Chains A and B, each alone.
Chain A
Amino acid sequence: MAWPKHEQRKPAGGLTLIAMVGLAIAFLLYMAFLNVVKSGNLLSETNLLYATLIFYAGAGALYMGFGVTGTASYVKFASFATWLGLIANTAAIAHRWHDAGHPPFTSIYEMLLSSVWALAVLTLIAEKKFGVKVIGTVTMPLAIIGVFFMQLLRTEVHPLVPLLQSTWLSVHVALAVLAYAACALSFALAMMFLIQDHMKTETILAISSASTLAIYAGTVLTCFEKWGGVSLVVSNPDRKAEIFLSQALRFSIPIPVLGWSIMLASLVVATPLLCYFLARWRRSDSFLTLAHRAVFFSILLQTMTLIVLLVHVSGSRSHLPTAGGLFPGALTTSPFILAGLVAGILISLLFLLLVWRRPDLERLLPTADTLDRITYKTICLAFPLLTLTIATGAYWANQTWGSYWSWDPKETWAAITWLVYALYLHMRITVGWRGRRAAYFAIAGFAVVIFTFFGVTYLLPGLHAFS
């Protein structure tokens, strides 16, 4: 391995970061408070979400700091901030529940609100019960992205259409949220296992490069236009909704610049993968140095693409005579590109963290054996929850549509997720897969979960139109 075996560092007091994060939180809260005084409304959902975001962001910064420096005192403050964020998050959920008169499970926005809550709870459980302190380094940034994402979605309370007026809604969706959160946790644990299992950094580099590339390919393919343009779905600002030209065709604007910059970014993202193969073929480490430089460069380019996206979203308007008027593109209606870019940047950043602080991470994480076992246990929790999600969904569908199974894409993908985890359990229990191969399986399982949760809703047509 090209890395120093073990780097002993003097444990710093770590007061600087704690003080900085504390000051930032205090400052942001003060700014928010000024705003509240002006509007005279303290406990609105927006304010609560804002507080949630601030505390989670603080927790995320401290967890990241812990991941980088291994200063133990960070964790204490990080979990304290997570607790505060969780309280604000719970209050936001309670507020929403009270306003809407039903549990917050009926739109993507409400689902995210609940999922972020579940993620924070699971992070605290993993930290306190299993001692996986560093897990916040992965889960809190995810929670932050979730809260950010919520700001882009339609937040107004919708009255429930008759279909959703059922007690089964709460049962079905609560189970789904729990199951998906457990899957997310198993994914994070499997990733940590790979680090603890001494997987070579260059292999992880190749994998992260390949998965980022796959994300971009998937993102771009959904909205690819002629001449390298990427199209943004247009939003009608009055109704805050996309405009449909026909049943399945949304009206969209092609933006060539965005398409080209995504392609350029993808090219640079692909470079480490290429370098990895060259290094293996030529048995030369110089390619790996090049690969690391490419990672830096790719972060720059991806950030630039993100800026291009943000600029063009509000900047470009398109004329649609049949709907009468000019309409802007909107992040809300095509959240895939944004999610893809943010995920890409996050993957690259996490990889950098790994490159810089691998020995520290290895010291902080539980042993590979423990991680392997906890991953398995999380899936043992997720699998019955998935089963119950599907069963309650089928029962509800039977009450509503008169058929417990109609091969709707969401149903089918839920079944696929269930099968993938069933395969994992069989391979592990009967065939005896442990370690690496089981970890790959857990990671693949979570990729399927993500597709079932987001991909099916936005990419495939079906009956589950509301979430």
Chain B
Amino acid sequence: MAADLRSVVHKTWRTIASVETGVVLLILVVILSAVGTIILQRPVTRPDEMQSAYSPFVLQILDAVGLTDVFHSWWFLGIVFLVSLCIVATSIDRFPNRWRYFSRPYKVPDDSFRRALHLQKSLPLITREGGPGAVEEYGLLAAERALQAKGYNPEKVARPDQAGVFAERHRISELAVFIVHSSLLLIFLGTIVDGLWGWRGTLTLNEGQSSNVVEMRDGKTRTLPFSIRCDATGQESYADGTTRKLWSRLTVVQAGQDVQKKEIVVNDPLLSSGVRFYQSRYGANGKVERLMLAAIPTDGSGLKQEIGLALNDVASLDADTAVRFAEFFPDYAIRDGQVVLKSNELLNPAAHLVVTSKKASKDFDVWLLQSGKVADNSTVPWKFQIAGLKVGHYTGLEVSYEPGQWCVWSGAVLMGIGLAFVFYVVHTRFWVLLLRDSKTGKLVLWIGGSANRNRDAFEIRFNEIVAAIENELKPAISSALEGAARYGR
């Protein structure tokens, strides 16, 4: 029973830690993501569009399966989780081997390794018969010098049975793949942190208004520990009417103190205690700041006057008459003889004035309309015209809090570094050994080389190194030959 369990655990582990499982999972992610871009997704589509795109029955099925919100469905997150699990398991499974490879370089290749090695070469060494073993020494020395000249840092390997030289470069390349995979996990971790603790909302502020209540997507609100005040906001346009710039001057207010000021534009948000405020929308808020009026006495006796009024301001026109700015509609309609608000856009403004006359001891309602009539103004002692209008604007801010984003960015940077190592940093190794040729019994200098990638370029370098060693050997060989000739004579 216990053995069964162990084999089940073992099999499960082998399945999770296999590249094949990872590949199948990634293919699933690819297919499901593609589906998520083809079927309309609830979070970014208006409900009425969803209803017009699919029949109620189809929509019900899609909703039930979660296909209308693929990227937040439990099964999609589950598969991404399995991918992470697979990456972790594969890494754990392979790491010990790689680490051994990394931490204990293989310096003296044995017979079977040498036989299987793709790149190798044997250079003959001529020894003085009966002379001292200086040439053998010289063979290794020549290899060391040639490798040094090519920028390697060779080390002598002396074992009782075998003398040789080993040189390598960029051993770290063997671990690069772990860097890439851990960077991917770091990015996943960041997105998980943001998914759990991050949030997004909007904040709409009129000029001069301050608030600390952010509206969330789901209609709930979130109260910030500080307030944001919009000091000013505006829009600049190109000659053809397209928007050139949207800006807002924001102030962070904490405990009644202005602690931070910044003019934000699109692409340049305000950051305060980890919360970011992005310029998103801009528009008229339907409120009037100042109404400029031209007033002329009806009987033609007095002079034309220009007055500026804010809402509910009162101005006296002469000793007898005063005017109050009572109501303002940025866009009006007349319904049943009443002026009603149509929209908050400054399209068709209407102003309601109340003119008080002491003599007549009466209040007159004066409506300044572009068309239509709701009251008889013939007895009013003054006539009014709108000479100018200054209306208020709002700024629409996107607010987001993403505590995990630094994790994501460091993951991205780490991935860049990892990929650079994976693709462009090659682990190259050279072995030089003194061997006796098994057939002839003569002494040879055996040179082997290997690279973990980009092998065709390495072959060229290998041949260069072999040539360099041959070059270094020449004087020694010729002197040996001379010596042998002298000895023979």
Which residues of chain A have a CB within 8 Å of any CB of chain B? 158-159, 161-163, 165-166, 168, 247-248, 373, 380-381, 383-384, 387-388, 391, 394-396, 398-409, 412-413, 415-416, 419-420, 422-423, 426-427, 430-431, 456, 460
Residues of B within 8 A of A166 (CB): 267
Residues of A within 8 A of B238 (CB): 159
Is A162 in contact with B29, judged by CB distance below 8 angstroms? no
**A402: contacting residue among B243, B400, B409, CB under 8 A:** B400
Measured CA separation A407–B69 after assembly (Å): 10
**8 A Cβ contacts from B247-296 to A:** 265-269, 276, 278-279
Excluding A247-B49, A407-B36, A456-B37, 17 further A-B contacts by CB distance (< 8 Å) are A161-B242, A162-B244, A162-B279, A163-B267, A168-B267, A387-B416, A396-B267, A401-B278, A407-B41, A412-B36, A412-B71, A415-B33, A419-B26, A422-B26, A426-B19, A426-B22, A427-B23
Is B19 in contact with A159, judged by CB distance below 8 angstroms? no
Residues of B within 8 A of A247 (CB): 49
Measured CA separation A339–B190 after assembly (Å): 41
Q: From DSSP, what is the main secondary structure of chain A's interface residues?
A: helix
**Contacts A/B (CB < 8 Å), 7 sampled:** A247-B49, A373-B456, A391-B415, A416-B34, A419-B29, A423-B27, A427-B23
What are the 5 tightest A-B residue pairs by CB atom distance, in nearest-first order? A162-B266, A402-B400, A409-B37, A159-B238, A391-B412
**8 A Cβ contacts from B225-246 to A:** 238, 240, 242-246
Residues of A within 8 A of B243 (CB): 161-162
Measured CA separation A426–B408 after assembly (Å): 23
Give A169's nearest chain B residue, CB to CB.
B267
Measured CA separation A402–B22 after assembly (Å): 32
Is B405 in contact with A398, judged by CB distance below 8 angstroms? yes
Measured CA separation A419–B26 after assembly (Å): 7
Q: Does B106 contact A (CB under 8 A)?
A: no
Residues of B within 8 A of A248 (CB): 49
Residues of B within 8 A of A399 (CB): 267-269
Q: Does B375 contact A (CB under 8 A)?
A: no
Q: How far is the CB of A234 from chain B (nearest CB, A)?
A: 21
Measured CA separation A423–B279 after assembly (Å): 39
**B423: contacting residue among A165, A383, A402, CB under 8 A:** A383
Is B191 in contact with A158, judged by CB distance below 8 angstroms? no
**A159: contacting residue among B29, B71, B244, B456, CB under 8 A:** B244
Q: How far is the CB of B286 from chain A (nearest CB, A)?
A: 24
Is A391 in contact with B416, judged by CB distance below 8 angstroms? yes
Is A420 in contact with B30, judged by CB distance below 8 angstroms? yes
Measured CA separation A420–B27 after assembly (Å): 8
Is B405 in contact with A404, judged by CB distance below 8 angstroms? yes
Q: Does B402 contact A (CB under 8 A)?
A: yes
Q: How large is the interface on B (under 10, 10 to 19, 20 to 34, 35 or more residues)?
A: 35 or more
Measured CA separation A456–B266 after assembly (Å): 25
Residues of A within 8 A of B265 (CB): 162
Q: Does B420 contact A (CB under 8 A)?
A: yes
Most buried by A among B36, B44, B71, B276: B44
Q: How far is the CB of A132 from chain B (nearest CB, A)?
A: 15
Query: In the complex where A162-B244, A404-B402, A416-B30 touch, is A387 in contact with B267 (Cβ < 8 A)?
Result: no
Residues of A within 8 A of B44 (CB): 406, 408
Is B266 in contact with A412, judged by CB distance below 8 angstroms? no
Q: Does B5 contact A (CB under 8 A)?
A: no
Query: In the complex where A166-B267, A407-B41, A430-B19 touch, is A423 in contact with B244 (Cβ < 8 A)?
Result: no
Measured CA separation A201–B49 after assembly (Å): 49
Residues of B within 8 A of A168 (CB): 267
Measured CA separation A161–B26 after assembly (Å): 37
**B246: contacting residue among A162, A398, A401, A415, CB under 8 A:** A162
Is B22 in contact with A419, judged by CB distance below 8 angstroms? no
Q: How far is the CB of B290 from chain A (nearest CB, A)?
A: 28
Measured CA separation A409–B278 after assembly (Å): 22
Contact with A along B375-417 (1 / 0, CB 8 A): 0000000000000000000000011101001001100100110
Is B409 in contact with A395, judged by CB distance below 8 angstroms? yes
Query: In the complex where A373-B456, A403-B400 touch, is A419 in contact with B240 (Cβ < 8 A)?
Result: no
**B33: contacting residue among A163, A400, A403, A416, CB under 8 A:** A416
**B415: contacting residue among A373, A387, A431, A456, CB under 8 A:** A387
Q: How far is the CB of B199 from chain A (nearest CB, A)?
A: 11
**8 A Cβ contacts from B1-46 to A:** 19-20, 22-23, 26-27, 29-30, 33-34, 36-38, 41, 44
Contact with A along B201-240 (1 / 0, CB 8 A): 0000000000000000000000000000000000000101
Is B402 in contact with A403, judged by CB distance below 8 angstroms? yes
Q: How far is the CB of A122 from chain B (nearest CB, A)?
A: 18
Give B277's nearest chain A residue, CB to CB.
A402
Q: How far is the CB of A251 from chain B (nearest CB, A)?
A: 16
